Amino acid sequence: MNLDITFGQYCEGDSVIHRMDPRAKIIAVLLYIVVIFLAKSFAAFGLLTAAAVVLVLLSGIRPRIILHGLKPLMFILLFTVVLNIFFIKGTTLLFEWAFIHVYLEGVFNALLIALRIVLLLVSTSVLMTYTTTPIALTDGLEQLLSPLKRIHIPVHEFSMMMTIALRFIPTLIEETEKIMNAQKARGADFSTGSLIQRARALIPILVPLFISAFRRADELATAMECRCYTGGEGRTRMNVLHAHARDVIACIGICLLGAGVVLLNRFGAYMLSW
Amino acid sequence: MSECFRVENLSYSYPTEEGAAPHRALDHISFSVEEGSFVAILGHNGSGKSTLAKMLSLILFPDEGSVWLRGRNMSTDDITEEDVLRARREVGMAFQNPDNQIVATVVEEDVAFGPENLGLPPEEIRRRVDEALAMVGMTEYARHAPHKLSGGQKQRVAIAGIIAMRRSCIIFDESTAMLDPVGRREVMDIIEKLNREEHITVLHITHYMTEAVRADRVIVMDRGHILMDGTPREVFSQPEKLWAAHLDVPQTTELLYAMRQHGLDVQLDIFDPDECASEIAAAISRR
């Protein structure tokens, strides 16, 4: 269990995208998603694909990592493609057998929808998960949502909980391993038997793990209190987020991309039906 | 010299299940600690030493008696939460398990946690964090993830987090107990440096004799009472008393004691192995 969940899918790097302000990235991703859903024609999708390639190149992330990230999506992709090919009705009949009718429009639709899903995943993961640490994301979210504090939504507390959760994941994984080894040394068997038997074998791991997690939480709370933690009120930060010109440029760039997409939607032989 | 802590007639019992006799963790204890001193509190498990630390850092409040911090009684009824907070800005506390005191996923952000809570401006926090990390020798690990560090390194990060708050007094509650010998030595060197060079009042709670020897003053606790109180030389020259409280004495003292039992005329209060060797050599040549 050598997973480093704390850093999620984060790929170390020092690209322009890595250096972007996390707040700008969150806004950029939201804008980008809107833009992707605006695209309807082949020309517009062509532009978006080009933009995605530029993003990947800018981030300096190896294409193999991104392709690997697409793997879990294969099933959904296949499913939508098949569904679109067989169920979209159009005017140009390509193939007919018994009750199956395949129209040209269906094939086009299938292709564009698949492309849309791939683009969504590639651009959001390049902009966010691959180039931003979960901590930076949490900080960015806290600051973006801070106006909500006015209506008494505990934004700081949520972000503190996220930070602590991220901090303790590796510690608890280590602890789980220790407990598992201790139980194995006493003759516990986790790998054979029926599903129910195996699930039952996990109870002697979960109980001590929970007890220890509560004890840790208690000690951490005391330690935090001793370090004068009283919640978000009156707290400052060492690393203040600074929006640079590049962050504004990135967001404007995405808006321009959106304008381009809307424009290109007018020039297209085929338009996506939804 | 002025007084940092004073406890008067302090008693505390942990709440127990109904019917069971309450266990008295502290039983009418009184002593005071001078500003800038290095005090080791020694005791067997259950001697009340950690309870005492929790009283002094205002995590627990006494059943009877009072805790005075810098001439202020912190155990009266009119002590508000704000007073406690203000006191916590002066008294820092380092705990036993370094894992359970580190909050952030990056070393320097954890060190910054305390100063951030104090509401300091970012540049000031930065300066203090760099200074604190340099003091514990962890500067090169500033951007590392805490869970990848060794126990000693984690504990040093935790101590840096306390140093960065510029407390004038730090209580170490068995901060070396979970560390390997190397980590223990690293942390002890830092504790000693904080006292000698930064003039921070240090209360070091431990059950390692070799660590207690480095203090100015040793308080030995046994079953909620103060058994002995004096300089390391005074305390460790009475091994029988320590053994009776289920405590060890430094190995040098143990050796010298055994030699004295066999008629060799040696001093007991020697803790340095080399000095111990020359003391024995001198005694043998005197014969």
What are A217's two structure tokens?
């939480």
Question: Which residue has tokens 């060197």?
Answer: B189
Instruction: Write out the E strands in A78-151.
Output: 93-97, 100-103
Question: Which residue has tokens 């036993």?
Answer: B96
Choose the closest CB to B88 out of A164, A228, A240: A228
How far, in Å, CA of B56 to CA of B68, rounded?
9
Q: Where are the domains of chain A?
A: 9-143+242-265, 151-226
* Separation of CA B103 from chain center: 22
Burial of B88 per CB tally in 10 Å (0-12, 13-18, 19+): buried
Average pLDDT over every residue of A48-64: 89
Banded model confidence at residue A269, pLDDT cuts 50, 70, 90: low
Choose the closest CB to A135 out of B97, B105, B113: B105
pLDDT recorded at residue A1:
40
Average pLDDT over every residue of B63-84: 85
Question: Minimal Cα–Cα distance from A135 to chain B, Å?
Answer: 8
**Percent of chain A at pLDDT exceeding 90:** 19
pLDDT recorded at residue A208:
92
Q: Which residues pair with B66 in a beta bridge?
A: B8
Question: Minimal Cα–Cα distance from B46 to chain A, Å?
Answer: 19
Average pLDDT over every residue of A238-254: 86
- Provide the residue type at B111 as one letter: V
Average pLDDT over every residue of B169-198: 91
CB B257 within 8 A of CB B242: no
CB B92 within 8 A of CB B167: yes
Probe site for chain B from A161, A167, A211, A220 (most B CB atoms < 10 A): A167
Mean confidence (pLDDT) of chain A: 85
pLDDT recorded at residue B19:
67
Instruction: Write out the E strands in A91-162.
Output: 93-97, 100-103
Question: Considering only CB atoms, which chain B residues are within 8 Å of A164?
Answer: 103
Question: Which of the two residues, A227 and A97, has the higher pLDDT score?
Answer: A227
Choose the closest CB to B161 out of A171, A225, A227: A227
Is there a contact between A228 and B165 if contact means CB atoms under 8 Å apart?
Answer: yes
Choose the closest CB to B147 out of A133, A171, A220: A171
User: How far apart, in Å, are the Cα atoms of B274 and each of A169, A194, B269?
Assistant: 47, 65, 13
Average pLDDT over every residue of A166-193: 86
CB B56 within 8 A of CB B87: no
The beta-carbon contacts of B183-189 under 8 Å, at least 24 apart in sequence, are: B183/B150, B183/B151, B183/B152, B183/B153, B183/B155, B184/B152, B184/B208, B184/B211, B186/B137, B186/B152, B186/B153, B186/B156, B187/B152, B187/B155, B187/B156, B187/B159, B188/B214
Q: Phi, psi (5° rounding) for residue A7?
A: -100, 10
Tell me the torsion sign for CA atoms A84, A89, A90, A92.
positive
- The model's pLDDT over A136-171, given as tens digits with 9 standing for 90+, comes to 888 888 889 888 888 888 889 998 998 898 888 888
Question: Minimal Cα–Cα distance from A71 to chain B, Å?
Answer: 29
Question: Considering only CB atoms, which chain B residues are within 8 Å of A143?
Answer: none
Is there a contact between A6 and B105 if contact means CB atoms under 8 Å apart?
Answer: yes
- The model's pLDDT over A191-243, given as tens digits with 9 standing for 90+, comes to 777 888 888 888 888 999 999 999 999 999 999 989 989 887 888 888 888 88
Banded model confidence at residue A3, pLDDT cuts 50, 70, 90: very low
pLDDT recorded at residue A16:
84
pTM of the model: 0.80
Is there a contact between B117 and A228 if contact means CB atoms under 8 Å apart?
Answer: yes
- The model's pLDDT over B259-286, given as tens digits with 9 standing for 90+, comes to 888 888 888 888 888 888 888 888 888 8
Question: Which residue has tokens 């599903």?
Answer: A195
How far, in Å, CA of B116 to CA of B233, rounded?
42
What are B262's two structure tokens?
């066999």
In a 3-state reduction of DSSP, which class is residue B33? strand
